[in-house]
Amino acid sequence: MNAFDCIVAKKPRENAGAMAGNRFAYQLDWGLKRLLELEGEGKPYTVIFDYQDDILVLDSDEDPQYIDFYQVKTNTAASGWRKNDLYTVARKKKKETTTEPTLFDEVDEDEVEEDEKYSKLAKLLIHSLDFPTVARDFFFVTNANFGTTLIKGGRQSKAKELNFSDLIEKAKDEIQKRVKEELPYLDESVFEHLHFIKNQMGIDDHEATVIGLLTQYLNEHYPKAKVSAKPVYDTLIGEIKKRNNYEWEPNSVEDLLKNKSFTRTQFRQFLKGLETYENIEGKKSAIQEMLVRYLPENAAAKRRSILRQVDHIKENFLVYDNHEFLRLYKTIDLLIDETAGEYNELQWSQVVLERLKNDYSFTSIHNDDYLTCLILYEMC
């Protein structure tokens, strides 16, 4: 069994509860940040959102052998994290009632809050018991700093990443003791694989931070795209949120990859598709000039109808995993080369359009004005 099979075979120990808005948004942004980092490293990966833990990173998108587990927590306390925050089991306040319950009262299960079963670190390290052959490293990710009960200098420490071995001795001893009380079968060697990522992004500016990182990444790796990072960010965050909110447990690897994951292949295909987005406003002006030049004056309504399709094309470029659109776009590119001849661009577009409609059934979902606009767009 590879890591995909292990994840599907093992049902989660508990369902994730509702997260506070700030933590949820922070988790989404940190997930996109990690996705960009993995893509920049150039190695195979699969990222799984909100299944077994907040974020899982696997070492392949085809035959993964290892899983790294990430738990994302926000903390707004001025003192930052203390050691007892990490190993204390959280107790939730029960809903208060004004009257004594009777035997005939119905209990609304959604209103009953249960205590946490495990402390934060126990919930993270328990994966080593659930996935003994594939669990590799465990990461506690937070916006906040650590206090003096955890590291020397406390909040003054500038280190963004720490290993368990970097904690002060008293903290290490107590954490190991308390977590082992929760998980008696835990192998102590697992603490050698425990890492802390802290204070990489602020709780109030994490969106701006990730948009900045995305801008830098697009400029460096996809300079031809000439697309603002914000709509790309909105698309990717929307896709991560969709995977995060998918509630059904996957019953196959295909289901897991489709509904909970980003693979390197999928992500690269999306980013590569952005290169076709090059200078869309400039192309819109060029298409308008062609229509004015070659369509008669009494066809103004037709010009407007074709030109309006540029906005739909723009939207389609920014749809993640839009395989049908990319297939159509590549087909048009091939047909333009095959049909080159002695005619103007508008006549040429109609030759390509007829080939599309006659030879490719998947074009039937689009009207002629959309297809004409897309052909002219590629000719530009």
pLDDT in tens, 36-92: 999 999 999 999 999 999 999 999 999 999 999 999 999 998 888 999 999 998 766
pLDDT of residue 349: 95
Tell me, yes or no, whether 235 lies in a domain. yes
Q: Same domain, yes or no, for 252 and 304?
A: no
Alpha helices in the chain (DSSP H): 3-9, 21-41, 83-87, 120-125, 127-130, 169-182, 206-221, 229-245, 253-260, 264-273, 280-294, 300-317, 323-338, 345-359, 368-379
pLDDT of residue 102: 40
Tell me, yes or no, whether 272 lies in a domain. no
Tell me, yes or no, whether 273 lies in a domain. no
Instruction: Supply φ then ψ for residue 198, to 5 degrees.
Output: -130, 150
Nearest of 123, 244, 243 to residue 194 by alpha carbon: 123
292-321 in b/e form (b: 16+ CB < 10 A) is: eeeeeeeeeeebebbbebbeebbebbbbbe
Residue 108, both tokens: 């609304």
Residue count (the chain): 380
Total of domains in the chain: 2
Only one residue has tokens 């709509």, namely 231
pLDDT of residue 320: 86
pLDDT of residue 108: 37
Domain span at 374: 279-379
CA distance 59 to 377: 39
Nearest of 267, 211, 257 to residue 40 by alpha carbon: 267
pLDDT of residue 103: 36
Alpha helices in 100-187 (DSSP H): 120-125, 127-130, 169-182
Tell me, yes or no, whether 228 lies in a domain. yes
Q: What is the largest CA-CA distance in the chain?
A: 89
Q: Same domain, yes or no, for 138 and 250?
A: yes
How many helices (H) and strands (E) in the chain? 15, 7
Q: Same domain, yes or no, for 254 and 294?
A: no
CA distance 179 to 61: 33
Q: Same domain, yes or no, for 308 and 251?
A: no
Tell me, yes or no, whether 163 lies in a domain. yes
What is the sign, positive or negative, of the torsion defined by CA atoms of 374, 376, 379, 380?
negative
pLDDT of residue 107: 34
pLDDT of residue 321: 79
Q: Same domain, yes or no, for 336 and 227?
A: no
pLDDT of residue 21: 61
Q: Same domain, yes or no, for 42 and 173?
A: yes
Structural Rg of the chain based on CA atoms: 27
Q: Same domain, yes or no, for 326 and 219?
A: no
What is this structure's pTM?
0.83
Last residue in a domain, options 263, 288, 309: 263
- DSSP for residue 146: B
Q: Same domain, yes or no, for 348 and 220?
A: no
Which segments in the chain show pLDDT lower than 70?
A: 15-22, 91-115, 362-364
Q: Same domain, yes or no, for 114 and 31?
A: yes
Last residue in a domain, options 210, 238, 263: 263
Q: Same domain, yes or no, for 191 and 314?
A: no
Last residue in a domain, options 231, 263, 295: 263
Other Cβ atoms within 10 Å of 187 Cβ, number: 13
pLDDT digits (tens, 9 = 90+) for 307-341: 999 999 988 888 887 878 888 988 999 999 999 98
